[in-house]
Every structure is written in C-alpha cells, then in structure tokens.
Structure 1
Amino acid sequence: MTTHSALIVDDEPDIRDLLEITLTRMGITTHTAADVTTAKALLEKHQPQLCLTDMNLPDGNGIDLVHWIQQHVPNTPVAVITAYGCMETAIESLKAGAFDFVSKPVELPRLRELVNCALKLSEPEVQASTSSDEPGLLLGDSPQIRKLRNQTRKLARSQAPVFISGESGSGKELVARMIHLQGPRCSGPFIAVNCGAIPSELMESEFFGHKKGSFTGAVENKDGLFRSADGGTLFLDEVADLPLAMQVKLLRAIQEKAVRPVGDTKEIPVDIRVLSATHKNLVELVQDGSFRQDLFYRINVIELAVPPLRERVDDISLLANHILERIAREYECPAATLTPAAIERLKSYQFPGNVRELENILERAFTLCDDERIGAEDLHLNGGVAPAGSMPTEPVESPVASSTDEPLVPDGEIDLEGYLESIERQAIEKALEATRWNKTAAARRLGISFRALRYRLKKLGMD
C-alpha cells in the first residue's frame, strides 16, 4: 500500500498540530514548516503528494509559495488556508495555481474531502490521463486544439471554477467533460444542465432539490442537481440565461458549498466542482446589469476559450471521418467516405454552427447519398434548396388524410416533433406494406435511397 505524505505550512503551532493530527489519522505521513524558506527545502527533499499552506507567513505569503511550487514541484497540489470570508484571497490563490482552498476556522470534514481529492491526483490512472497527449474527446491535430487539450490537462489537476467560452456548437460541454475525466473526480458523476432550459419557477427545486409536500406537486423528496453531482462535477451550460434571483442563490451555494432544499430548514453540504459556459459575452452582461458581478468573478476564476471550427480547418477531415464512422455504427450501415471535392467544400465553409453543424450536415448527407461516397453535391451547403431525392418521386397516399375534411394539424397544443415523426412512421409503414416489406422497393416508392430508409427505420425504432 502506497504511503502518502503531506507538508503543512503554518506559523501557528496550534493550527499545525490540528492539521497534523487530522492527516496522521488519515494515514498520511506529515512534515511541518513555520515559514516559506523551510517549506521550500522540505518540498524539494520529500516532494509530498499535498501541501497545505497558510496565507500569512513570517517570510512571505501563501500565494508566493503557490507560484514557487508551480515552477519547482508542479506535481504537488497545494491548498491555501484563508481567513474566513476572504473570498478575494481564495480566488487569487486559485488563479495562481492552487489546487483548492479552505477557510479558517478549518472544518475537518471539508478538510478531509479536500485532502482525499488531492491525493487522487497521485493515482496512476489520473497521472496517466493528465500527462499524455491522448486526444480523448477533443479530436484534432491543429495547434489550437493541441493547446486546448494541454490547457484541459492542467486545469483537471485543479479544483478552481472554470468558465468555458465559445460559440454555439463549438464543443464546450466536451471540454468540460474532459476536465472532469482527467481529474481526481473522474470516478464521480458529471452532471450537465442547460440553465436556459429550466422554467424559472422550477429552478430552485431543480438545482437544490425539495422536501416532499413543500409545494403543490412535490409528491416525493428530490435531491436536485447539486446533490446529484456530489463527489463529481456540475457543468452549468448557458449560465448567462439564469435570472438574477437565481444567480444570488447559486452564488451562495457555490461559496458555502452547501444547499438548502425547498421546504427544508437546514443546509446540506455538497462536494462538487463547478464548471460553466455560455456563448454570450458575460462581461457585457455584467456591464448592463443582467448578470451579477460577484457571481461572474466566482465562476470565472479561470477562463478557457474554445476555438470555432473555422479557425481549425485542418481538423475538419479528421472530425468528418470520425462522425461518419460513428453514424455508421449507430445505424448499422456501411461507413461512407468523403470525396476530395467534398472535403475541400467543407474546408471552405464557414460553419456558423461549428462542430454541431458539421454533424448535422454529414448525417443528412449520409442518409441521402446513393453509395458509400459522399460528394460535394451531397453536402447541400448552398442552402435554400431541398436536397435532391428528399421528396417522393411517386405519389404516396397520405397516412393521415382521409375522406373527411378534418384539418391535417389538430387544434390546440401539440408535440410537433412527435407529430411529424408519427407521419413519417405511417408513410414508411404504408410503403413497406405496399411492397410486401421489400425495403429496396419501399425506398424507391418513398423517393429516398435504401441507406436513407435504413437510417430512418433505425432512428424510429422500426428496424
């Protein structure tokens, strides 16, 4: 069994003793120092798996020590002990490269969580994931994507809140997931939530949970997103869409590392790392008063920018082939390849929707091409014109129309996506029945390719 070691740096003997006793009971070998000079010597000699340092020391401060550790023993995570309520100092230490922080008076349960999380960084699987240049989820060989992968590996070793900026569809959630998977919380949950998709009246319950009977419809207890992410990572996508009232409650939950479910009287501690993202300009939103400045500083400790696809054109071919292979696996069809002309057409396109748009373009082209090769004309990037072959060439009896004069679309609220899917399903069933379930003939009757029919059968669960 590997024995872990830690360095405790504090000029107050009582604090040193408390921390030493706590860590020793956790089975950790401890070394102590009362000043920066002694700490540096011990760090070089022992290279411990963790350093806990006070902010104010006789010959320097904790921030200076954090900087020194980043340069000389970068594999040793360092946590800073700050004065109670001094959030500016805590954020400064995180920006300097600290793994995490803990406030005085030190709460021992919180300290143990921090120590256990930091020690996981020395585990072989975490070290391997943060030292290799494996692409993981972030595919590409361009300088921009290599830089991004390097940044995610470094940030994975920290517990600092990261704000991920970038255009819609550029892959912000993938970046957040990579930070989670390469860090000490990789065995814990990764909970992603689109803040703009939650109705404002349900936000508090969705984030913090509720007690049974706390409001009409609360028929059972609910944990909420924060508690569901306990021990892992909570990714707040489109955080700019949060209303101001919810921003206040979110800030408190992040700072106190605790939540109070709706209808409850006590707070419940949570151990999570918060990552956030939006395609909007948060600085402008802070300036116009629609986003709280204090929350901005709390979630934007470190900003990570995801480049748009048009700025890494060299990655398009690799990404496209990967997407086509995935589509083929999902729909159990032979893989399609792009012609050189199709690749050049993709490289010259601006991709306002980024990687997500590339996926949509290729999925459409995959279903409409007649063989296993996708040409430039199959991409339909000129817009405005319906793809050739997308409309039936033979008359197909409407699956929903009848001799009555009932309207095609019913009155009142409808699930449009589900309604259109039902029309498609009925049209396919009619074509299959008319051709005695000969898929090739049914595809011809529907005016689509055999590949397109197989894709739709799989998508609709009719295969």
Structure 2
Amino acid sequence: MSTQHVLIVDDEPDIRELLEITLGRMGLETHAAGDLREAGNLLRDARFDLCLTDLRLPDGSGIQLVDYIQQHHPELPVAVISAHGTMETAIAALKAGAFDFVAKPVDLERLRALVGSALKLNQENSPQQPDRRRQPLLGNSPAMQGIRDTVAKLARSQAPIYIHGESGTGKELIARQIHDQGPRRTAPFVPVNCGAIPPELMESEFFGHIKGSFTGATVDRPGLFQTAHGGTLFLDEVADLPLAMQVKLLRAIQERRIRPVGANQETPVDVRILSATHKNLADEVAANRFRQDLYFRLNVIELQAPPLRERIEDLPLLATHLLERIASRWGHPSLRLADGALHALEQYPFPGNVRELENILERAATLCEGQTLYARDLRLSPPNPAGNASTTSPPPLAVGEAALDTQLANQQREVIRRALEQTRWNKTQAAEVLGISFRQLRYRLKKLGIE
C-alpha cells in the first residue's frame, strides 16, 4: 500500500511539530504550510489524502481553505483545528464542507480517530471495494436523483444531518445510506426511536448504567452511544425527546463524552449523529418544546425526504420492488400488478407514503386470487384530487379491468380539465388547486394526453 500524504496548515511551529510527530507514528507522510498562500502552492503541486488546517491563519481563515478545497479538490477531506472551538465556529466549518472539527488543545486520541476515518474515505469508495449498501434508494425521479447525489456528498463528511420528511418517506433508509457510503460503514449503525423510550429510562438507554446504580441494574449495561462507538447513531423522531434529556444529549454531542448512570467518570465516545422527525423542528423550537441550541447542533445540514406524491413517476418501480420483497418473504411465486391496479395507485394521494404503499400491497397480496393484483384487491378509498367533498354519489363503475382503467382515466382527466379551466390554463395554479406538485401535474398531463 502506498504512503498516504497529509497537508498540515498552521502558523504555530509547535502545533505543526506535534501533528507531524503524531501522524508520522501512524505511518503517514506530512507536508506543512504556515499560511493560505503556501497551502495553495502545495495543493497545486502535490496530491494529498487529507488536510488539517487551523482556523485562524496569518493571511485568512481556515474556512477559506475549506471553500478552496471544495471547489478545486472536492475529493480531499479537510478538518479544521481551532483554539476557538465554539459551537458556532464548528457549525460554520462543517457547513462550509469540512470533514470534521477539532478543538485545541488537541486530544491526540480524538485526532488519530479523525485521521483514520478521513483516510478511509478514498479506500471505502474505491471501485475495488464491494458495494455493502443494504437497500438502494429506488426511483428515477428528479427528487430521488437529487437525494442520491446529496447522500453521496454528505457521506464524505462527519457533519450532523437533520432529515425532515413526512412519516413513511424513508428517513431511516436515507440515514443508512449516508452511513453505508461513508468511512464509518464497517462500524455499527444504531437507530433509535426517541418517542418509544420511557422518560424514566431514557438516560440509561442513551448512556448506559453500571451495576447497582438503581433497582434492577444487576449488571453493567452499555448505552446507545457506546453501542454506536465508531459508527452512526440515528435519532429518529428526535422532536419527542423530553427537555431534560435534550440538555444531556447536547452536552454529549458537544463534549463527545458520556457518563453512564451511576458512574464517577466520563467515557469518550466517537459517533456521528443523524436525526430525523416528521414534525417541523423549527416550529417545535418556537413553541419552546425543543431547545434552540440543540436544534442548531443537529441541524448543521438539512435534508428533505420527498413525499411519494411528489415523485409519483417512481411508483411502478417501487411497487415492483416491494412485491418482489413480499413474494420472497412469504415464499410465494412472483406477484404482479394489473394495469388497472397501477393506475388506481397512481391516483391515490398516499398520506402514509412508501410505508403505506407497502402495507397496501401486502394486504392486496393476501386478498388476491393468483399472482396478479387487481384494483379491487387494493381496496383504496376514492381519491379526491380537488380537496372538496363530493355531494353527489359517484357514477357506477363498469365491470372489468379494462373498463375500470378507462373509467378512472376519464374521471382524472375531467378533474384536471376543470382545474385548468378554473385557472385559465395556468398549470402552476392548477396544481395548487388540485393539491399536487407542478411536476406531478405535468406527468399526468402527458400520461392522459391533455394538451
């Protein structure tokens, strides 16, 4: 294996020497620069596997160097080291694209762990490495292509990420992808539903406890932070954390240390924090139900998980994948959707998103006769695209799949035409009237042949 090269940028000779000795003992070759100009020259003349930069330099800021590296050497991880280790500084560095942030005085154990993780990036993402992703993010819609591109970038950072989205949109799957594509992929991914832990057990669940610390504590027990050490801790439904626990969680994230219940000493932990909720976390802060300082610490980078109704063109692929999974799980022959069933699904609003789609298909697979799922097997509630309750009974449907397909398409075409006429064929306004996205309306106009 060839020697890996690290660029150290710091104007203090003592710090440079400390870093060079520490990294040299790790078998790494180091190159030092005292300011931005010198660092820029080295970056132009040589290839590096990692950059460590001080925040304050004689001719500028370490964040300027992060920006430069992001533009000209995007594959190079860069970590910021600073004596001014405030939360705001760390967040600014991470938002600029820094791999991680280290405060002075430098904890050498923490530094070695950071360097090890950063140097794994190119190794883990090399073509020779096997693809260990558990489950792909399916879909060819622009929304899902954007999510996959963003996940690939976020996987190269250690920044905390807040994933926002409705229930059933796959927030945990996105978090797993970020973990599996990053340098922590060989370490544990530990998901926890914050709303499912009783408040009285929360501290013990997160931080662990020692034997005899409370009634029933008959053995030492590690918490979620210890279990996720070296890997990723995914806090699902983080908005459900009680305020008292939010304070303790904030300290654990900032200090990278936890104290098990009943212990006298703190334990260092190395975890990346990903969080998610279906609630609007900013609204929770405004209502004093969520601490603002914790919100800023978790929400360094926000990622929006799109609802299924905004990527309805992905539905055939998702349905096929889910039916294959259901058939495999049950040991059944392959299952398929009839055209009429697919058309019915495409008109359904899916308030429960992909999770609801899976439930609908599993129920239909139980009810259907044979290997083909028809619209009647889905048992969907009638769609109401215009958002208004109908005061008249719907016309009776003709019998048969072909007739049902035609009937459903005609009904959808009529609703869309009325919305277009109401808005004088302004498609953006028509989409708002129908309660769907502009992209979804454009997809349906093309599919239904409406000009």
Q: Could you say whether these structures have the same fold, taking a TM-score greater than 0.5 normalized by the shorter chain as the test? A: yes
Aligned counterpart, 2:429: none
Q: Provide structure 2 residue ranges, at least 5 long, that are not aligned to the other structure.
A: 383-451
Aligned counterpart, 1:229: 228
SS in 1 for 2:38: helix
Mapped partners of 1:82, 1:162: distance in 2 = 22
Mapped partners of 2:353, 2:127: distance in 1 = 30
- Alignment partner of 1:343 is 2:342: yes
Aligned counterpart, 2:162: 163
Deviation, structure 1 residue 85: 3.9
Q: Normalization by structure 2: what TM-score?
A: 0.83
Q: Normalization by structure 1: what TM-score?
A: 0.81
- Alignment partner of 1:65 is 2:65: yes
Q: Deviations over 1:77-134 (max 9, x none)?
A: 00001225422111100000000010000010000000000000020x424499x9x9
Aligned counterpart, 2:121: 121
Mapped partners of 2:164, 2:353: distance in 1 = 14
What are the residue-to-residue correspondences of 1:46-57 with 2, within 5 Å?
A: 46-57=46-57
Aligned counterpart, 2:283: 284
Mapped partners of 1:56, 1:111: distance in 2 = 19
Mapped partners of 1:335, 1:120: distance in 2 = 40
Q: Deviations over 1:181-215 (max 9, x none)?
A: 00000000000000000000000000000000000
Aligned counterpart, 1:431: none
Preserved contact between residue 207 and residue 225 of structure 1 (Cα < 8 Å): yes
SS in 1 for 2:125: helix
Mapped partners of 1:30, 1:254: distance in 2 = 30
Aligned counterpart, 2:416: none
Larger radius of gyration: 1
Preserved contact between residue 84 and residue 105 of structure 1 (Cα < 8 Å): no
Compared with structure 1, are the counterparts of its residues 36 and 161 closer, same or farther at alpha carbon in structure 2 (3 Å cutoff)? same
Q: CA RMSD in A?
A: 1.6
Q: Which amino acid aligns with 1:92?
A: A
Preserved contact between residue 55 and residue 81 of structure 1 (Cα < 8 Å): yes
Mapped partners of 1:145, 1:41: distance in 2 = 39
What are the residue-to-residue correspondences of 1:198-347 with 2, within 5 Å?
A: 198-347=197-346
Q: Which amino acid aligns with 1:279?
A: H
Mapped partners of 2:44, 2:180: distance in 1 = 29
Preserved contact between residue 85 and residue 102 of structure 2 (Cα < 8 Å): no
Aligned counterpart, 2:148: 149
Mapped partners of 2:363, 2:135: distance in 1 = 26
Q: Which amino acid aligns with 2:160?
A: P
Mapped partners of 1:104, 1:24: distance in 2 = 20
**Percent of aligned pairs with the same residue?**
63
- Alignment partner of 1:8 is 2:8: yes
Mapped partners of 2:2, 2:167: distance in 1 = 45
Preserved contact between residue 190 and residue 229 of structure 1 (Cα < 8 Å): yes
Preserved contact between residue 10 and residue 16 of structure 1 (Cα < 8 Å): yes
Aligned counterpart, 1:197: 196
SS in 2 for 1:312: helix
Mapped partners of 1:266, 1:128: distance in 2 = 44
Equivalenced residues, count: 381
Structure 1 range deviating more: 85-94 or 66-75? 85-94
Aligned counterpart, 1:174: 173
